[in-house]
Structure 1
């Protein structure tokens, strides 16, 4: 156990790592007792997170449906394109500007440009893709071609 106890550099006693851990635990516990405002420095830097809208993709016998959550955006701010079997949804959500006499204390919502790309199956009819934007949700309908739909074949005999 000699390896755990050594003299401190000033030679003023014995160094006890367990005592230091206990002191650190007490200091951390005292932080949780303070109101949260005191933990945040007034000069706290506002960093914007990279934004990547969430997407759901579903399929039925008629086709595929891609839904993206785009809260706070307008239809004109979103671009949907299809090239070489890749569906791309892109746009930009702009940061609200500070008004005179008003300052931001916290910015947690993400802003900025985004681009999501999805490889679409070969059975999609590209010229019939339809996109609708309603209540902050973009829905892109990707219809399947006739050859992709299940077909029952009668067995003759």
Structure 2
């Protein structure tokens, strides 16, 4: 019989996770639209599409100008990072309201083997960053269906 160890329940760790979830959903819903919070960091959402000649990655970066975004590729890993800086001010007769939102974000993903990392282009429009990665010539993928057996 294998030795089984019981891990003691840590109530503080459980509380910490619940608070992270609470504030994560709060900030997602109100102050930072379309950017997720993961462990206190902003994580932009993305879509990955494939065509015959290229891969297209659309990354939602609302309110983030292109000058605040850095894209790099190293050893087949594409990394997009930057900083969100936002401030809105409302002045009325009896009050002034100023809201600020700041945060760094970073998102990395492994490129497929047939991606040509020397031919990567990026463009930003209407809060969406589109990164296009051209496929290497002559690298067609063979597809085969894998049968799933009932256990």
**TM-score class normalised by the smaller sequence:** 0.5 to 0.7
- 1:95 shift after superposition: 3.4
Which portions of structure 1, spanning 4 or more consecutive aligned residues, are displaced by more than 6 angstroms? Answer: none
Aligned counterpart for 1:114 among listed residues 93, 96, 105: 105
For residues 136 and 97 of structure 1, the distance between their equivalents in structure 2, rounded to whole angstroms, comes to 18
TM superposition score normalised by structure 1: 0.57
Aligned counterpart for 1:92 among listed residues 83, 96, 110: 83
Aligned to 2:12: none
- 1:131 shift after superposition: 0.6
Give the direction of change, closer, same or farther, for the CA distance of 1:94–1:126 in structure 2 (3 Å limit): same
5 Å matches for 1:60-71? 60-71=51-62
The number of residue pairs the alignment matches comes to 102
TM superposition score normalised by structure 2: 0.59
- 1:135 shift after superposition: 1.1
Q: Note if contact 1:55-1:69 (Cα within 8 Å) is conserved in structure 2.
A: yes
3-state SS of the aligned residue for 2:112? coil
More strand per residue: 1 or 2? Answer: 2
Considering only aligned residues, what root-mean-square deviation do their CA atoms show, in Å? 2.7
- 1:81 shift after superposition: 0.4
Q: Note if contact 2:73-2:117 (Cα within 8 Å) is conserved in structure 1.
A: yes
Unpaired runs of 5+ in structure 2? 1-30, 143-151
Aligned to 1:140: 131
Q: Which has the higher contact order (CA 8 A, sep 6+)?
A: 1
- 1:65 shift after superposition: 0.5
